[in-house]
Amino acid sequence: MEKNNRKEEAEKRETKKSIRDNLIFPLIVAIVSILLTYHFTAESVQKGVVETLSMKLDYIEATDKIEEAIDEISKKDKELKEYERKSEELQSKVSSAQNASQVEYHTIAIFKDGQKTEDGIKNGWAIIDGKNFYSENTMNSLLGHNVYLDEVNSTLSFNSDGSNNYKETKVALEKTDVLRPGKRCTVFDGTSSDTFSMGSSTYNTGFSLKSDGWYYEGTALFDLSEKYSKISFDVGNINGDSQGDAVLRIYFRKATNDKMTFEQEFELQGDVSSKHVEINLNHYCDMTIELNHIDEGVEYGFANLVLEY
């Protein structure tokens, strides 16, 4: 009986050991494993945080240095541009000094038709780069009336009547589109080598009219558009074989709906180099100039044509 009791107690102890070995030891191992894992994981995390912070700090430091470098480059770039600007200014001044005009001033006397009218105009004449320039006082004394400088419009004007008038009151015919060639009319606009001569003068602007008999007149048409008050010109027989006399007839259309009507005529002599003619336009609408010749053909030239407003 006692023996059996001891056996049962031994079996109980063995059973408890087995339960301890099978339950408690694995639990201890698990707990140790968890602790070790936590320890190494925390250390790894801590290490990772330290490395990340270190990298961030290095980046921040590097960024600061880059910004400092950019600021320094920007500053140097501004200094370089300022240097280049000053260098260009200096070069411009040097160039201007090298290209400065050579000026010589002289005192001048005024002669009109062989008679001395004024003497000793100081600095009245200047030589600039080999070209002659005359002062305003010199020009006023020579012309007898003042010349007028309009500094705003950069114009210099002179009126023989002494009036101070800056407005344009006259215009050369070739600077307008007024002339329209009619029959047997040749226009010279100054853009080619074509010229015509009257007496000793040769012209490259103006026009010529040719008449081959009374019924074969030459005509020039003028679209006046009611703009002009007067026209003046020189007319003469063009140098050549035909030196006959002629008649110059003037026709007007006074208003748009009016008919063209005869106004006046001028006799032209073939042996006269040129004749100056002035015609009142009275702001009419149109004008026709007609050249007529009774016998053999003639050709007359028209030059120095000026329209007045």
d(CA 110, CA 138): 8
Say if residue 188 is in the same domain as residue 201: yes
Specify the CATH number for the domain of residue 219.
2.60.120.1060
pTM of the model: 0.55
Say if residue 198 is in the same domain as residue 294: yes
H/E element, 69: helix 25-98
| Residue with the larger pLDDT of the pair 150 and 2 | 150
Say if residue 154 is in the same domain as residue 217: no
Report the pLDDT averaged over residues 8-26: 57
Q: What is the mean pLDDT of the chain?
A: 78
Residue 144: domain span: 103-167
Percent residues over pLDDT 70 in the chain: 70
Instruction: Find out whether 287 and 211 touch, Cβ atoms under 8 Å.
Output: no
Say if residue 52 is in the same domain as residue 130: no
d(CA 221, CA 250): 10
Say if residue 159 is in the same domain as residue 275: no
Residues 6+ apart with CB under 8 A from 235: 248, 266, 268, 274, 275, 277, 300, 301, 302, 303
Coil/strand/helix, residue 11: helix
pLDDT at 46 over 60: no
Q: How many structural domains is the chain composed of?
A: 3
Say if residue 271 is in the same domain as residue 218: yes
Say if residue 46 is in the same domain as residue 119: no
34-45 per-position pLDDT tens digit:
544 545 554 554
Which of 74, 100, 126 is the last residue in one of the domains? 100
Say if residue 109 is in the same domain as residue 52: no
Instruction: Find out whether 308 and 231 touch, Cβ atoms under 8 Å.
Output: yes
> Which tokens sit at 132?
């002659």
